[in-house]
Amino acid sequence: MKNRKTTERFIKMTMPFLMAVILLLTTFTMNSSVTYAHHDDNQLIKTVFHVYVDGKKIGTVHEKSVVEHAVEQQLKQAKEKKGDFAFTLNESIELKPEKMFRPQYDHDAVRETLSKELSVSLEAYRLMIDGQNVAYVFSEKEAEDVLLKLKLEHVSKDELDALEKYKDKDKEAQISELEPGESKVVDIDFSSPILVSKAQTSLSELVTVDEAISRIKGGTLQKKEHLIQEGETVESITQKYHLTMDQFFTLNPRFMLAPVIRVGEKVTVTEKKPFTKVLVFEAVRKQNEIPFPVEKQEDSTLEKGVTKTVQKGQKGLENITYTVRKTNGKTIEKDILNQERVKEPVTEIQKIGTKVIPSKGTGQLSWPAVGGYISSHKGSRWGREHKGMDIARPSERSILAADNGTVAFAGWDGDYGNKIIINHNNGMRTIYAHLNSISVSPGDVVKKGSKIGVMGTTGQSTGIHLHFEVYKNGVLQNPDEYL
């Protein structure tokens, strides 16, 4: 009985130890991939390193070299792609040592995680415009080439070389040396500065010089309002702004149900705006002619209508110096710096005749009746030529001389009936026919607008009217061109 109790007490005392051994054996069997620190010089407590990437624990290693080798592999792979760069690791790695009793670690798992988590960057040259990173290029020279090529699209290499040569010379002095007819590029710049600086970036972000230029010129899409013009359609607008129909309706949802646009309406579109534009400042010296003034003086000794030049006018000359600012070849601003007259214009003096000779016409005919309207024009009528103009229904029937002159004929003339011919003594003659009565005689001097007879219907006439003809140098004229 006593021995039995002793045996039970022994089993109770040893049971916890046996269970611990069984647990350790089970754990070892289930985690065969986990490595334990071996007995080394009979030391069970070992130092391991917990690996942290950007503050996040990714695993544990027994030796630092595991991590160091993984980092070297990442840098080596990057150099194999582009060996000219100095690559650096983007993430921070921290190894925290800890002494542990029979620690466990997994080198392969740490290596795999590091290969996924780690990334490298390189030192390149960044092109920044208005606070926005536009492109990264390999070297400072490539960055300079980007700026140079952009400028050479607008000025010649010789003009750029001249700018560099005279960059320390005062611009006003350069402009003052220009001769009339000459122009000179005095500056070239960007509407928004292109800032170049060293910066870290990934290999995938690196671009060539031409790609960087395309990015700068391509710019960004910006919304703008488009005013509908005559003949435009939704389709023509989408083609103009390189939009799909879906993009257009997204910008203008009100047209989705009824895609009908009207002239004068505004629609929203998108258009690429360059990050910056090249500005060319050009100085120009030009010689302009100054028109001469004309002074007209009345002269009572000259016949009215006669003009005599007594002093011939001469144009003046002036040199104008100005600057123009251009972008994409278009002038957007012009400033005049200086205007200098090198020759004053000479005034032309003209004498204007005012002397009126009663028997000589002025050359300008007046309406030969008191009111009325044109009932028939010169031209073909009733199968034959109608030589003059017919005026009917006046407010009163007085016939008036169309201009100053001398009565050459006054009397009856067949189909014309009572007829008057006035010689205006300047190459012109006028005829007045179908008069009821005549108030003048041959040889009489008549003034313009004076009464010479009364309207009637004598001769070959269909009603009361005035038949009026005009001759110049013996050739029949159209009265419409003189009245």
pLDDT score recorded for residue 38: 45
Is the pTM of the predicted complex or chain greater than 0.75? Answer: no
Question: Tens of pLDDT along 57-70?
Answer: 999 999 999 999 99
pLDDT score recorded for residue 66: 93
- Burial zone of 355 (CB within 10 Å; 0-12 exposed, 13-18 middle, 19+ buried): middle
Which segments of 234-284 does DSSP mark as H helices, in order? 234-240, 245-251
Q: Which domains does the chain have, with CATH numbers?
A: 37-118 (no CATH), 220-273 (3.10.350.10), 369-481 (2.70.70.10)
For residue 454, give the H/E element and its range. Answer: strand 451-455
pLDDT score recorded for residue 84: 66
pLDDT score recorded for residue 183: 87
Q: What token pair was written down for 278?
A: 């090249």
Give the list of residues 6+ apart from residue 345 with CB closer than 8 angstroms, or none: 290, 291, 292, 293, 313, 314, 315, 316
Give the list of residues 6+ apart from residue 5 with CB closer than 8 angstroms, or none: none
pLDDT score recorded for residue 351: 95
Distance CA 122, CA 88 (A): 6
**What are the backbone dihedrals phi and psi of residue 352, each rounded to the nearest 5 degrees, phi first?**
-110, 120
For 472, other C-beta atoms within 10 Å of its C-beta total: 15
Which segments of 45-199 does DSSP mark as H helices, in order? 65-81, 107-117, 140-152, 157-165, 171-176
pLDDT score recorded for residue 121: 82
Instruction: Using 50 as the pLDDT threshold, list the residues of the chain that sit under it.
Output: 1-3, 5-7, 10-11, 17-34, 36-42
pLDDT score recorded for residue 151: 94
Give the list of residues 6+ apart from residue 156 with CB closer than 8 angstroms, or none: none
